[in-house]
Every structure is written in C-alpha cells, then in structure tokens.
Amino acid sequence: MSKLREVFKNHKAFIPFVTAGDPSAARTVASVVALAEAGADIVELGVPFSDPIADGPVIQAAGLRAFAGGITVNGVFDIVAEIRKQTQVPLVFLTYANLPFKYGYDAFCRRCAALGVAGLVIPDLPAEEAGEILPFTKKHGLDLIPLVSPTSGSRLAKLVTDATGFIYIVSALGVTGQRAGFAQNLPDLIAALRQVTDAPLCVGFGVHTPEQARELAGLADGVIVGSAIVAQAAAAGDDAPAAIAAYTRDMVAAVRQAEVDA
C-alpha cells in the first residue's frame, strides 16, 4: 500500500496547500510544520512555475513572491530537507510537467523519494502523456495523483487507471480560488468514480469554510484547501504559521465531524 493510501485507512483527510518559497524558505518550513502540528493529514507543497495554468490569482501571486525570493527547484528540495528535520507529515508536490522533465524524470523522482515526498500532482500532464513519467514514479515508489473534473465524463476510467495514492477532484470549472458553490454534478461524479476505482477521492479548488469542508468530506474521502490558506498566510505576515494553524484546526474538526455524521 502506498504511503498516501495509508493516510485514509482510518479517517478522512484534510490536505492544506502552501507555495514553496512564499515569501521565503524559512517561512515555508515554519508553515508546513505548523500545519502538521495542527492536524493536517497530508501537506501539498506547490513548486513555483512561470506558467501555472491551474492556479488562480492568489496562488499566482504566491509564486511571484517565491520567485522574488530566489526560489528554484533545488531550493524546494532544500525546503523539504529542512521540513524533514521537524516533521514526517506526508508531502505531495503540485508541480507542472516542464519542471520534472527539465530536471530529469529519474533524478526528480529519486530526490522526491529520498526526502519523503510521497506523490506528485501535475495539472498540465494529460493522461495520454503520463507514460513519460510513470515508469519513474513507480520505480521510486511515488504516487502520480490524477486530476478529474466535472467535465471528465467518459474519460474517468482512463484518467484513474494508474491511481495509487488518491484522486484529486476539481470541484468546479476554472482555476483555483475561493468559491461560494461547487459543480452541481459533483455527487454524481464522485459516485461514478466509486464505480471505476477504489482509490481515495479528495475534493479541492474553492473550498474555504468549515461548512464546505464538512459537506464535501461527507461525500468524499478528503478535502484540499489552497487559496484560502495562501491568502491568510500573506495577510498574516510573520504570524502566518500561527494563523494558518488555527484555521487548519477548524477545518480538521469539520472533516472529522463529517465522519461522525456519516
């Protein structure tokens, strides 16, 4: 069983996101450690990229702050090395396809494995092209986490064929960012996925309140939150780790309540 799959054995998961290097390496390390101590089950770490097609304005701005601070792919790996001195919380990278391609698939996946990065989310990697990196994720024991959306339709089975960790369900069309509502067919999408995979299902894009987290955790196996945390961290400045930890405790409680309600 993959390291990520093990997280879901006993309970539903809360998965917060932070951008590596925003606004500095030290702040990122402190934030991830704070999230872990607040109860995050998995932390998604964004690897800044120049053309982040899935990211809304909040996360785009975080990437620009990280670039202004001098972040590089090797710098992200250095951040993970520092995180690992303080916590073993499961980590996944959200990266774009060009970064592991240019770094070298084998070298990138090897370094991920050595540092305890358990999986990769690659929003701009079509299922038809996943075969390029899949041999290397398998070789190094990483989960390649597919994304599915409300418009995936007949492609669902193909998209999740190689899912081993969890499946990232995009809750609505468009880029990341806080939303008041989600796709009307989300329950049907989750039900359809249950028919073609036994991998855990996690919902992200737009989730930002405990009420939303509780509702979505009632349908799925986990909830992913990005823009809300990135925005809070930016607003809190030096107090960011404490601020996002308090928020995470509320979101974790909401996800756990969904287990009670089930």
Where in the sequence numbering do the catalytic residues fall? 44, 55
Token digits of residue 99? 């970064």
Query: CB–CB of 182/226 below 8 Å?
Result: no
Per DSSP (E only), the strands in the chain are 13-19, 43-46, 91-94, 117-121, 143-145, 147-148, 167-170, 201-204, 222-225
The three-state secondary structure class of 170 is strand
Residue owning tokens 């823009």: 227
- In b/e form, how buried is each residue of 42-64, taking b as 16+ CB within 10 angstroms? bbbbbbbbeebebbbebbbbbbe
Instruction: Name the nearest CA neighbour of 228 among 244, 252, 212.
Output: 244
Taking the C-alpha atoms of residue 152 and residue 189, their distance in angstroms, rounded to an integer, is: 9
DSSP letter at 51?
Answer: S
